[in-house]
Amino acid sequence: MRKIIPVSPVAVIAVVLIVLGPGVTRVAAKSINSNVGTSAFPFLKINIGARSCGMAGAFTGLADDESALYYNPSGIAFLEGKRFIFEYHNYFADLQSGFVGFIRPIWRDKMLGISIDYLNYGDFIKTDLTGNNLGTFGGSDVMLSTSLAVKQSDYIAYGGSLKFIYEKLDRFSATGVAVDLSAKYLGDRSRYSAGIMVQNIGFQLSALGTEKDKLPLTVRAGGAIKPRGLPLRVAADVIVPIDNGIDFAIGTEYFALKPFYIRIGWNTFGTNYRIEGSTDKWAGLGVGVGFDYRKMQISYAYTPAADLGESHRITVSGGF
């Protein structure tokens, strides 16, 4: 799809900051955090996985499937055998993204994961100040990651990811490296769990412009429980980014109809998507469904983003 952008590719940088760092469009009742828009590679903050996004991203403490590669890599230590995950994400503002990951056991009590996370901005029409067509250009982000998780016991695991990041906008490009560090506790025969993660510890190697920016360092902590006698899981997260305010997420997964699953959640970050005067009350909601098919699970999630539009995800994951 083509979009008309006046002036030059540099103008698109502002658009990207608004779309991917939507704190600049907070409602008037909330003050704007002074650090909004100051971090590089904001696509690193986009949640992945239709199951986890159906639970509004409350997944750091649960982290019991392949999307743990993003939320808490130590969680893959409790998986068994070879695993995979494929996701397609129809993001708002006509952006498209995806995630591909592969996990396998190595040595004893260790799991290795590799993943690719990408975001495509599509094609833009480049014009000058008078509206003359100067051709087209595009933009995209890619993150390549290698994860390692070690199960210290039946209850505790540690993990980390090493990430290489590449961003391109017309003739401009930027690169960076980052590390994620995490831990997970699994208790009472998997009835409850807890996790913590420090995400995006790193720096830019090169920037789109002349100045390098910090990465979107984020601390995530969460817990999950399967209440006795109830066919559901409940999870909650607290997310603390350096470039915005603290956010909270809570979600649940209902599995009484297994192999069919129903998910719903709420994330306070959704208030960032509302512009002044917006009457939208659903931004921050996550809803989704999933079903098991042989060794796979196929999931879908819908997340509205107020005035920016809506987001749809389809994820296929499982073992082989």
State how far the Cα of 226 lies from the Cα of 79, in Å rounded to an integer.
18
State how far the Cα of 81 lies from the Cα of 73, in Å rounded to an integer.
16
CATH number of 309's domain = 2.40.160.60
Range of the structural domain that residue 199 is part of: 2-319
Q: How many other CB atoms are found less than 10 A from the CB of residue 7?
A: 11
State how far the Cα of 111 lies from the Cα of 199, in Å rounded to an integer.
19
Q: Cα 114–115–119 angle (5° rounding)?
A: 165
Q: What is the mean pLDDT of residues 6-18?
A: 39
Per cent of the chain over pLDDT 90 is 68
- If one counts the domains in the chain, the total is 1
Band (142; pLDDT cuts 50, 70, 90): very high
Q: What is the mean pLDDT of residues 129-153?
A: 91
**What does the pLDDT read at residue 125?**
83
pLDDT, tens only, 85-101: 999 999 877 789 999 99
Query: Taken in order 36, 313, 280, 1, is the CA torsion positive or negative?
Result: positive
Q: What is the mean pLDDT of residues 289-301?
A: 97
Residue 30 per-residue DSSP state: S
Radius of gyration of the chain, Cα coordinates, nearest whole angstrom: 20
- What are the residues facing 79 on neighbouring strands? none
